[in-house]
Amino acid sequence: MILSPFFMFISILFHLAITLLLTLLTQVGGIIYLITILLIREKSRYWWGKRLTLFSLLYALATFLVIPYVAPLFGRERIKESEMIEAHSMLYKIANRNYVTPALNQALQEISQNLDQKHHGIKVVYLDANFPFIKGFPLFPHLSHNDGKKVDLSFIYSNKDKQLVNLKPSNSGYGVFEEPLKQEYNQIEVCKNQGFWQYDYAQYLTLGKKEQELTFSIQGNRTLLQTILQQISVKKVFIEPHLKTRMKLQHHKLRFHGCRAVRHDDHIHFQL
């Protein structure tokens, strides 16, 4: 009897932690988890299995059948995929991280069409975009993906035969960096020496690396970035300074994101 309140406290902390984690990762998962534990009590037989089954069912229904029709009420919509644009991983769609404003959706469509005209068959591959609801709601671990106007794109790579491909070096699309060459300015070293320890922590978020021999394509990425920069609605584009130099790009929209963010030599960030 003395231990009962203690275990109850631990149970509450456990459920709160799961709720917080699911909310940070998916925005709606925490609410669905709370609904699940309210509907399936621990006293019921096989309650763990029942909770897992009910949560999976409710989450799938919400993600694929409900949220896409409710999100437009909040000014956001799913990224429209096609033969020219796709998510790097199904995880981004399952976690509801594929929502943008209609204007950004339109910009992505135009970028993908223009890229296909110059490099036929090469797709615009997106990573994290935004959650479907509530302006200002943070998309962990990003600092600014909170208004539907930001999206990350994967770089373009070539294979060992020097051909452009849609393959990427990591499962998440993040964390495999295109390091500065000896003669290039090393912003990464500058930021880390200033105490910004988080600057390259994306190396731990790869979810595994691919075994293919892939090389950062200067021409492919230069074309992709030029296509993005040509969009009138695009306000800022973030990449590392050494890649800007390597691709010989100069544009007032092309910015350095600051040391408080993470390094951007594994992906492109742009925003309206």
State pLDDT tens for residues 234-258. Answer: 999 999 999 999 999 999 999 999 9
Interatomic CA distance for residues 21 and 27, integer angstroms: 9
Q: Are 169 and 216 in contact (CB under 8 A)?
A: no
Please give the pLDDT value at position 42. 75
pTM (2 d.p.):
0.91
Q: What are the contacts of 144-148 at 24+ separation with CB within 8 A? A: 144/271, 147/101, 148/75, 148/76, 148/99, 148/100, 148/101, 148/104
Q: Are 123 and 85 in contact (CB under 8 A)?
A: yes
Residue 237's nearest CA partner among 267, 212, 215 is 267
Please give the pLDDT value at position 2. 47
Collapsing DSSP to helix, strand or coil, 159 comes out as coil
Tens of pLDDT, residues 93-122:
999 999 999 999 999 999 999 999 999 999
Please give the pLDDT value at position 252. 95
Residues in the chain, pLDDT under 50 = 1-3
Please give the pLDDT value at position 212. 74
Please give the pLDDT value at position 41. 80
Please give the pLDDT value at position 1. 41
Establish how many alpha carbons lie within 13 A of residue 155's alpha carbon, considering only the half-sphere containing its beta carbon: 26
